[in-house]
Amino acid sequence: MVKLRRMREADVLGVMEIETRVSPAPWSYGIFSDCIKVGYDAWVYEDSEEIIGYGLFSIGVDEAHILQLAIKPERQRQGLGRKMLTYFLGEIALTKVKSAYLEVRISNEHAFELYQEMGFKLMGQRKDYYQTLDGREDALILEYTF
């Protein structure tokens, strides 16, 4: 049974296994570990004690930033990303912030479509924001208004 729970330090290796598969420039073990230590909202999807997805967000004074949201490739397109994002937006709404922001690779059409379906609006583009295997890639900046 799939369940969403808070990420623990012991989960970072499982998170890294997914991160290295879904990102050409993966976050390091230390970045994930530091995010947990400083108190970012960090979550994992677990299925029979196997980590199949993860996400992190941070809350500022008037805005939130969704930093990561990833599902294991073979478990994508099953609604898990949508459920996690719905949960995140619900938690963020409780804080009374005005907006939530995220960046998405311009090539990640499935994620962009999901974010639009969930009510995110395109705000702009960051040139060469993401590293790729052979250079840089632009990011789309999206905003969700509460």
**Residues that are catalytic:** 103, 115
Query: C-alpha angle 74/88/92, rounded to 5°?
Result: 165
Q: How far is CA 67 from the centre of its chain?
A: 5
Residue 72 — left, alpha, or beta (φ > 0 → left; ψ -120 to 50 → alpha)?
beta
Burial classification of residue 84, based on how many CB atoms lie within 10 Å of its CB (0-12 exposed, 13-18 middle, 19 or more buried): buried
Q: What ranges make up the beta strands (E) of 29-134? A: 41-47, 50-59, 63-71, 99-105, 121-132
Q: Could you give the strand order of the β-sheet that contains 99-105, starting from the edge strand earlier in sequence?
A: 2-6, 41-47, 50-59, 63-71, 99-105, 135-145, 121-132
